[in-house]
Structure 1
């Protein structure tokens, strides 16, 4: 029927009447191609709009980070050291932490990952046993793992962690990243961050763990095979002083210097850690001094004044006491509540048996009652280097015998509810 109509219309047009022929075939020649072209244009515009919206969301998330942090992130990304990023992790992608989990290319939501699943990129993952100096708060679990044949410690946020615990976890990772690298601070290798609650902070693992435990093992040199000389004490103390001076140059007061917060590598390199107290004061996430052991605090801190670089120097003097006694707590006979009055009377630590005059002089220069009379960290480092040159490097430091952990807890002033977290 339609064919007959078209044929009849064609017969009505003259052979040279192009206008008549175009009108006759307008549906096939004009309308259908125009509709196809319009549909293609709509598809292209829709794809452009979706791409723009997606990029705007990513840019808005990046802009939400504090400006100072964004600048520090770019600086930190150039200084990442230690292990390479595990497969699926881009050290430069995320706007909040040095390393981040890749999102799927389709933009679909990443499914919730369990603690076991999110540790799959690491090898030989084992829980880090709780000790006196290495523990965890309620929202974090610690693991020891291997990446590219190198040891790391994984600080993993529990699946049950709430929004506030997640905020503190990510805030601490950002705080450590902002400090930047230093040879005598454990390398913070980055953070793996996914959808809540997937968050893992990756830190360099040091073979011998905390210095306090290492000193206790040196008390059992015949069993452990490890010992320490006074020359080694000067060497390790110089390394810790270097790290402490660097923190002060970054306007960061440590506030919890002690053997429990120093880590020891396989080559006996000492690295200062235990930065939780500094982070809490920086963010006012807890009462100042609430989690630090009072036996290591300077008199002005015990009197409820602010922490300062000079109060760190006081604590450093007590670290030297711990090292020279192979882990004895300072002011052992006193209760923490009695310490300030004891110091007000002009009392001080007694010189440990076998401690050289040079080492005790460095200890005394740190623990002056008046903060203005205490040695600066720079001058202290020079004293320690000078002492290292003349110290005995052959005779191991000895102690009376193994320490009783229960007695140590009591004499060091640990409370039952004290948080032993180091990482």
Structure 2
């Protein structure tokens, strides 16, 4: 009998002891797992766009497990940057992802921010206000994939170059490639500033400083009215600014290939900045260096018309045409010559005639730029010296006046454009 009791009691005690030991272990294990889950939760809370941001940071070896600690770490050295995101290679706020939506005409529009982390210690640079469609005049190369908007960002006027959401993947690649190309040129006082690129999701957006007077060609046409004055001195000043930008581009081994009043933007204080980099970007990506643009023949050098490679001297020829546009307040060059006959016209030794509104000093520069022989043309450095020397003695009091009223259809015909387009200089 005693033996039977021992057989029953001993296993029961062993089972009870095992349970007493295992239950606390299970409780401790459960508590530890629960605490670790709570610590990991913030890593999974952020939106998909934030997770993409973390992947970018990991690629650049700046990623940490806690998003806010990362923001604190980089806040000081990024304080000088503009408040807009950009893909790698484009400087401003290099990986801040910022989706944005805009409408045709809408005031006080702000970008959409889905599940964005709180930033109690930072100002909200991302907000755009007063977004409105940017009026356009005509285009040599219409671009149906891009819309333009005027907006305010960080208390300054900006232009939003927005890729339509229906754009194909190749069009998106070209859009971002062009932005990267412009960014790679580096900053220059007489090239419009690229403030950033929004690439987190559609629509893709380039943000560029706005120059209030917009393109120089339209500004010249407006100067035919009494309310706008263009003087000889201002021509020297603005031409020297464009020449400085062109000289800088040439130092970067970049041939512009599209110099003309349509490719120059003018700020509120009459500063001229060179833009119109589309042909330069196409040459960089497609490799063509011959006369690829038949629409702007009247601005092209003879060697380009002859389908020979474009050179820095070709830009200087086009710069001479730019000065001609300025002194005539927007007249096209070689107005009485058909584009198809221009090369033969130049080969016969003909050249631009001196306009009545052009001083001898400015006409001398035009002729020095527009030598038929490319080797005889001025270099950009020589051009800058001549323009600055002429500026000091130029007439800054008498406004240039053109008696003939401006007629848009006549301009299109004489400039060699087959038809009018909706033209966006950005």
TM-score band by shorter chain is: 0.7 to 0.9
Q: Contact between 2:198 and 2:206, CA under 8 Å: does it hold in 1?
A: yes
- Compute the displacement of 1:378 (Å): 0.4
Q: Contact between 1:99 and 1:193, CA under 8 Å: does it hold in 2?
A: no
Residue 72 of structure 2 is matched in structure 1 by: none
- Compute the displacement of 1:302 (Å): 0.5
Q: Which runs of 5+ in 1 are unaligned?
A: 1-7, 14-19, 64-76, 105-109
Q: Contact between 2:291 and 2:304, CA under 8 Å: does it hold in 1?
A: no
Equivalent residues in 2 for 1:16-415 (5 A)?
A: 24-30=16-22, 33=25, 36-37=28-29, 40=32, 57-58=55-56, 84-85=82-83, 89-90=84-85, 94-95=87-88, 97=90, 98-99=92-93, 102=96, 114-116=101-103, 121-132=127-138, 137-195=143-201, 197-221=202-226, 225-284=227-286, 289-290=292-293, 293-415=296-418
- Compute the displacement of 1:148 (Å): 3.0
Which deviates more, 36-45 or 310-319?
36-45
- Compute the displacement of 1:407 (Å): 0.5
Which deviates more, 291-300 or 279-288?
279-288
Q: Contact between 2:150 and 2:158, CA under 8 Å: does it hold in 1?
A: yes
Change (3 A) 1:142 1:376: same
Deviation readout 1:4-44 (Å, 9 max, x if unpaired): xxxx98x967xxxxxx9777412221465168538957996
Residue 67 of structure 1 is matched in structure 2 by: none
Instruction: Calculate the aligned-residue CA RMSD, in Å.
Output: 3.6
Give the whole-Å Cα distance in 2 for the aligned partners of 1:243 and 1:421: 20
TM-score normalised by length of structure 2: 0.78
Q: Contact between 1:365 and 1:375, CA under 8 Å: does it hold in 2?
A: yes
- Compute the displacement of 1:198 (Å): 2.1
Give the whole-Å Cα distance in 2 for the aligned partners of 1:268 and 1:58: 41
Give the whole-Å Cα distance in 2 for the aligned partners of 1:183 and 1:291: 31
The runs of 4+ residues in structure 1 deviating greater than 2 Å are 20-24, 34-48, 53-63, 77-81, 94-104, 113-121, 132-136, 285-292, 415-421
Give the whole-Å Cα distance in 1 for the aligned partners of 2:204 and 2:293: 26
Deviation readout 1:55-111 (Å, 9 max, x if unpaired): 995368669xxxxxxxxxxxxx98977xx41xxx456xx42544567459xxxxx8x
Deviation readout 1:90-133 (Å, 9 max, x if unpaired): 56xx42544567459xxxxx8xx644377573111111112136
TM-score normalised by length of structure 1: 0.79
Give the whole-Å Cα distance in 2 for the aligned partners of 1:377 and 1:78: 36
Q: Contact between 1:276 and 1:422, CA under 8 Å: does it hold in 2?
A: no
Q: Contact between 1:123 and 1:147, CA under 8 Å: does it hold in 2?
A: yes
Q: Contact between 2:140 and 2:295, CA under 8 Å: does it hold in 1?
A: no
SS of equivalent residue, structure 2 residue 212: coil
Q: Contact between 2:138 and 2:421, CA under 8 Å: does it hold in 1?
A: no
Residue 73 of structure 2 is matched in structure 1 by: none
Q: Contact between 1:211 and 1:263, CA under 8 Å: does it hold in 2?
A: yes
Give the whole-Å Cα distance in 2 for the aligned partners of 1:55 and 1:206: 32
Deviation readout 1:317-347 (Å, 9 max, x if unpaired): 0001111111110000011111000000111
SS of equivalent residue, structure 1 residue 219: coil
Q: Number of paired residues?
A: 378
Q: Contact between 1:277 and 1:292, CA under 8 Å: does it hold in 2?
A: no
